[in-house]
């Protein structure tokens, strides 16, 4: 079945279903944001990140407290990191790669396993584009990493931290993925793009 564009308010199911970027009204499910539909899948093309336990995200330390740190995670909701879980000293504005260990009933996130990231640069994309950047079984991000000799930390919250030899090539490839994420044959085009050093043929 071919892909189709779904607009906010379009009915996506005649039964109530919990789906990203959708809401339930009158026993039916409707799109809340612009999405792409194929078969019974609905993939939001825009949207803010909502914390999910088990996700790894790239955050920025926003406040130091006696018991730990507040971490801004590109979400309406901040994350909390306990001082007990911090091995390396952290300061306000430090960039960290952290795991969301627990999410409470008001979407507050408890964070764990922090890794401080230094010497690189951060790119922000739509959180909904992250699965395409990662690729099936990490295939896309591994390909970018290998061709650009760049360490890439992809956060499910739409933040990507890059450090290495050719970060500009990696950034160009990621932005190309975001622009063309709704199209088919993307992996082959990105492979050619990387092999040509960033020059599309």
What are φ and ψ of residue 100, in 5° steps? -85, 110
Q: Residue 200 — very low, low, confident or very high, per pLDDT cuts 50/70/90?
A: low
Do 56-117 and 121-195 come out as alike in CATH topology?
A: no
What are φ and ψ of residue 67, in 5° steps? -95, -5
State whether residue 7 is helix, strand or coil. Answer: coil
Question: Does 169 score more than 70 pLDDT?
Answer: yes
What pTM was computed for the model? 0.76
**Can you give the pLDDT at residue 9?**
85
The two structure tokens encoding residue 62: 């926003």
Question: Does 20 score more than 80 pLDDT?
Answer: no
Match domain 121-195 to its CATH number in 3.90.420.10, 3.60.15.10, 3.30.1370.10, 1.10.3720.10.
3.30.1370.10
Question: Domain limits of the chain?
Answer: 4-44, 56-117, 121-195
β-bridge mates for residue 113, sequence order: none
pLDDT tens, position by position, 93-150: 999 999 999 999 888 899 999 999 999 999 999 888 999 999 989 999 999 999 999 9
Measured CA to CA, the distance from residue 187 to residue 201 in angstroms comes to 15
| CATH 1.10.3730.10 describes domain 4-44 | no
Superfamily of domain 56-117: Nucleic acid-binding proteins (2.40.50.140)
Helix (H) / strand (E) containing 174: helix 167-179
**Can you give the pLDDT at residue 137?**
92
Question: Does 16 score more than 70 pLDDT?
Answer: yes
| Eight-class DSSP state of 175 | H
């Amino acid at each position: 079945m071919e892909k189709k564009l779904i607009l906010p308010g379009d009915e996506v199911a005649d039964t109530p279903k919990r789906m990203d970027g959708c809401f339930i009204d009158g026993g039916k499910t409707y799109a809340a944001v612009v999405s792409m539909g194929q078969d019974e899948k609905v993939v939001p093309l825009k949207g803010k990140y909502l914390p999910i336990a088990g996700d790894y995200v790239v955050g920025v330390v926003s406040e130091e407290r006696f018991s730990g740190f507040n971490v801004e995670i590109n979400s309406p909701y901040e994350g909390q990191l306990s001082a007990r879980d911090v091995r390396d000293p952290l300061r306000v504005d430090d960039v960290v790669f952290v795991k969301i260990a627990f999410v409470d009933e008001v979407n507050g996130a408890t964070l764990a396993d922090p890794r401080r990231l230094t010497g690189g640069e951060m790119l922000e994309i739509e959180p909904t584009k992250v699965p395409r950047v990662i690729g099936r079984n990490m295939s896309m991000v591994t390909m970018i990493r290998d061709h650009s000799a760049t360490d890439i930390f992809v956060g499910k919250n739409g933040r990507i931290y890059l450090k290495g030899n050719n970060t500009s090539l990696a950034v160009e490839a990621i932005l190309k993925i975001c622009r063309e994420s709704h199209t088919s044959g993307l992996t082959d085009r990105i492979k050619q793009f990387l092999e040509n050093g960033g020059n599309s043929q």
